[in-house]
Amino acid sequence: MRLILRLTLSATLVAAVMTTIQATEVHSDGRVTFRLRAPQAQSVAVAGKGKGNGMGDEPHPMTKQPDGAWSVTIGPVRPGFHYYELIVDGVPINDPSSPTYFGWGRDTSGLEVPDPALDFYTPNPAVTSGQVRILWRQSKLTGRMRQLHVYTPPGYDRDIDKRYPVLYLQHGAGENQTSWTRQGKVNHIMDNLLAREKAKPMIVVMAHGYAARPGAANPDRPSREDNLFQQVVVEELVPFIDDQFRTIADREHRAIAGLSMGGGQAMRIGLEHLDQFAWVATMAGAIDAENPPAVLRDPQLANARLKLLWIGCGRDDMILERSEKLHEKLTQQGITHVYHLSDGSHEWQAWRKHLWELGPLLFR
């Protein structure tokens, strides 16, 4: 086999893939060492992206060794997932040693700092895993093919008479349909909820959260045309999913949730379409308490129609105050809801925890 390898790969290719990249190193105490080989660079720094990022708000200058290798050790860094970038002579770049994740409108470096106290979002070797299915769907409203991700629980292919409730789960601004799988670990969280018998088996649909009319210049960027995305979900996506998967196709078995921008979308779409959804949740995406969807001005209707209204927020999240106000307003009005505060900022680690808390409440 050595012969085959030698013969079928170019020397260049082998050299490149065999070279050990100086990988980012997460130490057991939570400190993190970043490295970059850049002999000709004048300055190199590493910076977390986003307010309240676990890596701190300011760039961390890296220092150069005589051999051209730059490095810095920072932290301890808060456990969880943090977007970041390296800055080489003023140019923000992805870290060559990091996997990239779609966030900030493009593929962006991400740092995963394990939390030794938590194992709910890591793959569980003891169970058969669910599947995340990548599908393409032609959309009449946008005139484009749209990719979506769909989680199906373990056993979906085996129990072929069983039908499932569906959770529609949206990403944040600058992210896309891959983000709940890649950054959020949705499949591992759902697998673990099911393995511990904490949640009902459900299908989770993760759609591309932007929509623009045919011919739009930037169809994949956050759009203010949110009525169009709402239309895509209600008129196209829900019927498509009910056609393609073994769903229980009624409002009592359909939930919608999302984080940040996606939380606003979930509240708007869910609360304005209670004929379609009976379970509505937002993670760090609270709506304006003074200007809510109509149903939230009618406590009797809201309580009669909503199986669950769930509002989650991190204690250090920038939208905490807004979430508090919404919670107070709903409480004053006597609208039944769950208000859940988790540790964390406006970040994936909080949303992973939110899904872990929300999952068991759905479809009971």
User: Tokens 């045309």 belong to which residue?
Assistant: 225
CA-to-CA distance for 207 and 38, rounded, in angstroms?
39
For residue 91, the minimal CB distance to a second copy (Å) is 4
Count of CB atoms situated within 10 Å of the CB of 319: 17
In the structure encoding, which two tokens stand for residue 68, read together? 């051209």
* Site membership for a second copy, residue 238 (CB under 8 A): no
CA-to-CA distance for 283 and 355, rounded, in angstroms?
9
Q: Interface with a second copy by CB under 8 A: which range of 9-17, 112-120, 328-336, 356-364?
A: 9-17
User: Binder to a second copy among 8, 28, 63, 300 (CB under 8 A)?
Assistant: 8
286 contacts 313 by C-beta, under 8 angstroms = yes
User: Binder to a second copy among 132, 166, 193, 241 (CB under 8 A)?
Assistant: 132
User: Binder to a second copy among 13, 65, 297, 336 (CB under 8 A)?
Assistant: 13
For residue 250, the minimal CB distance to a second copy (Å) is 20
User: Binder to a second copy among 29, 116, 145, 215 (CB under 8 A)?
Assistant: 145
* Site membership for a second copy, residue 100 (CB under 8 A): yes
For residue 364, the minimal CB distance to a second copy (Å) is 27
Amino acid at 138: Q
Whether the link from the prior residue into 99 is cis, omega within 30° of 0, is no
How would DSSP label each residue in 273-340?
Answer: -TTT-SEEEEES-PPPTTS--GGGG-HHHHHHH-SEEEEEEETT-TTHHHHHHHHHHHHHHT---EEE
* Site membership for a second copy, residue 3 (CB under 8 A): yes
For residue 3, the minimal CB distance to a second copy (Å) is 5
Query: Site residues for a second copy, window 20-59 (CB under 8 A)?
Result: 20-21, 36-42, 49-51
For residue 263, the minimal CB distance to a second copy (Å) is 7
User: Tokens 């919608």 belong to which residue?
Assistant: 256
CA-to-CA distance for 323 and 285, rounded, in angstroms?
8
Query: Site residues for a second copy, window 177-216 (CB under 8 A)?
Result: 181, 187-188
Cβ proximity to a second copy, 200 vs 322, nearer residue: 322
* Site membership for a second copy, residue 138 (CB under 8 A): yes
Reference 45, options 63, 66, 27; nearest CA is 63
Q: Interface with a second copy by CB under 8 A: which range of 82-90, 273-281, 296-304, 347-355?
A: 82-90
User: Binder to a second copy among 179, 183, 247, 260 (CB under 8 A)?
Assistant: 260
Calculate the dihedral angle through the C-alpha atoms of 326, 331, 337, 342, rounding to the nearest 10 degrees. 60
> What is the total count of residues that contact a second copy (CB under 8 A)?
90
Q: Interface with a second copy by CB under 8 A: which range of 123-131, 163-171, 295-303, 348-356?
A: 123-131
CA-to-CA distance for 187 and 124, rounded, in angstroms?
10
* Site membership for a second copy, residue 17 (CB under 8 A): yes
For residue 333, the minimal CB distance to a second copy (Å) is 19
CA-to-CA distance for 364 and 253, rounded, in angstroms?
10
C-beta contacts of 112-115 below 8 A and 24+ residues apart = 112/26, 112/80, 112/81, 113/26, 113/30, 113/32, 113/54, 113/77, 113/78, 113/79, 113/80, 113/81, 113/82, 114/26, 114/79, 115/79, 115/80, 115/349
User: Binder to a second copy among 72, 74, 118, 319 (CB under 8 A)?
Assistant: 319
For residue 267, the minimal CB distance to a second copy (Å) is 8
Q: Interface with a second copy by CB under 8 A: which range of 27-35, 98-106, 231-239, 333-341?
A: 98-106
* Site membership for a second copy, residue 239 (CB under 8 A): no
Q: Interface with a second copy by CB under 8 A: which range of 192-200, 238-246, 327-335, 356-364?
A: 238-246
User: Binder to a second copy among 66, 116, 117, 160 (CB under 8 A)?
Assistant: 160
Q: How many Å is the Cα radius of gyration of the chain?
A: 22
CA 215 to chain centre: 28
